């Protein structure tokens, strides 16, 4: 989830745990604690593109890290706040609640987190909410602003904000079940062979969803809005091009890419260089068919026939294109074809 949502949820959680003992300084500390697991972003940036690929949402997003970090941060806060009426046990409880809340929120997004590291590298991804969803964030934002402006009734405000956002978060899970059923219906009606199906909401909303179907030889991508009257029909198909990857498939970096992409990928050769595209995110909105680049794409650096490194290729900012894309997103989410 985005940084603002994590910080706001952390501040509200701090108020819930400490109750009347929590003032605005505590809210600030709680917001900071909520961002601790994302230290992997800064560390990964120092390690390079290849390391960032597997380090993000790795060990710092595990249950073990949350347990140990909560214990350490609770001890540190107890030492720093000597002379106050907040006991060490309460600081630890607050830190644990905030850190575990961070993990739970990230698990609802599509990127996935490795909760069981170092014992298992399985990635958990409910994929029912976008990494930026204003309807989740807004109640928390209003709540935290109100908390900073009031001295009484703070606990009730915190409960209201957290309950509203949590209710919305759970509702996204229900939406995903409905949307998944519609995609499965579309597969049956169009006689499309389906080995796997990955469904996730598009950015900023929970109305418009993107589904990618593994057909064995490639993938079919379609979109479905909860405002649509019929199941998705217009699938855009992508070949996997496995033959391009075959000579390098056993390379450790390639194995990392396959794992991170959950084996939803396409390989392309451009000007003699190989590019690995993570199709879980695709080209933002494939139905626009405007040849935009993939959201997550990696150039494989090959030397002497071996993959020795990779380079992340991000989207170039084009303000006019992004403005048109946002307009198309809103229209499509509202059920317009």
In tens digits, the chain (337 residues) has pLDDT values of 999 999 999 999 999 999 999 999 999 999 999 999 999 888 877 777 666 777 778 899 999 999 999 999 999 999 998 878 899 999 999 999 999 999 999 999 998 899 999 999 899 999 999 999 999 999 999 999 999 998 889 999 999 999 999 999 999 999 999 999 999 999 999 998 889 999 999 989 999 999 999 998 899 999 999 999 999 988 889 899 999 999 999 999 999 899 889 999 999 999 989 999 999 888 767 766 666 778 888 999 999 889 888 888 766 555 666 777 778 788 888 887 6
Please give the DSSP secondary-structure letter assigned to residue 22: -
Please report whether residue 109 resides in a domain: yes
Q: Any idea which residue has 């000007």 for tokens?
A: 271
Q: Is residue 219 part of a domain?
A: yes
142 and 79, same domain (yes or no)? yes
Strand order in the sheet with 306-313: 265-270, 273-278, 297-303, 306-313
Which is it for the CA torsion 137, 142, 148, 153, positive or negative? negative
Residues 65, 18 share a domain: yes
| Together in a domain, 91 and 139 | yes
Domain of residue 327, residue span: 190-333
pTM: 0.92
Q: Are residues 232 and 165 in the same domain?
A: no
Same domain, 155 and 243: no
Q: Of 142, 171, 200, which residue sits at a domain end? A: 171
> 69 and 145: one domain?
yes
Give the count of domains, the chain. Answer: 2
Residues 200 and 324 in one domain: yes
Q: Residue 89's CB: how many other CB atoms inside 10 A?
A: 10
Claim to verify: residue 106 and residue 205 sit in the same structural domain:
no
User: Domain for residue 180, yes or no?
Assistant: no
Of the three residues 171, 206, 235, the one that is the final residue of a domain is: 171
In a domain, 217, yes or no: yes
Please check whether residue 182 lies inside any domain of the structure: no
Q: Which of 38, 78, 81, 84 is nearest to 61 (CA)?
A: 38
């Amino acid at each position: 989830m985005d940084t603002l949502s994590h910080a706001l949820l952390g501040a509200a959680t701090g108020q819930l745990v400490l109750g009347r003992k929590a003032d605005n300084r505590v809210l600030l500390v709680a917001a900071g604690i909520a961002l601790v697991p994302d230290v992997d972003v800064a560390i990964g940036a120092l390690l390079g593109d290849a390391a960032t690929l597997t380090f993000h949402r790795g060990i710092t997003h595990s249950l073990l890290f949350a347990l140990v970090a909560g214990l350490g941060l609770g001890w540190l806060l107890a030492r720093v706040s000597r002379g106050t009426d907040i006991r060490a046990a309460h600081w630890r409880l607050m830190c644990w609640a905030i850190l575990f809340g961070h993990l739970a929120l990230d698990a609802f997004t599509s990127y996935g987190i490795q909760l069981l590291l170092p014992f298992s590298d399985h990635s958990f991804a409910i994929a029912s909410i976008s990494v930026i969803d204003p309807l989740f964030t807004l109640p928390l934002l209003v709540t935290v602003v109100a908390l900073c402006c009031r001295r009484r009734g703070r606990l009730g405000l915190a409960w209201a904000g957290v309950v509203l956002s949590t209710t919305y978060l759970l509702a996204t899970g229900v939406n995903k079940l409905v949307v998944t059923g519609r995609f499965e219906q579309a597969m049956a009606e169009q006689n499309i062979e389906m080995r796997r199906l990955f469904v996730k909401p598009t950015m900023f909303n929970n109305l418009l969803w993107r589904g990618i179907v593994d057909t064995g030889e490639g993938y079919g991508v379609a979109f479905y809005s909860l405002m649509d009257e019929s199941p998705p029909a217009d699938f855009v198909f992508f070949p996997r091009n496995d033959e391009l990857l075959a000579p390098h498939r056993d390379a450790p970096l390639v194995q990392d890419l396959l794992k991170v992409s959950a084996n939803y990928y396409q390989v392309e050769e451009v000007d003699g260089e190989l590019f690995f595209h993570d199709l879980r995110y695709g080209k933002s909105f494939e139905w626009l068919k405007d040849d935009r680049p993939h959201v997550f794409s990696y150039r494989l650096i090959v030397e002497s026939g071996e993959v020795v490194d990779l380079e992340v290729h991000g989207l170039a900012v084009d303000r006019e294109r992004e403005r048109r894309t946002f307009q198309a997103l809103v229209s499509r989410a509202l059920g317009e074809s």
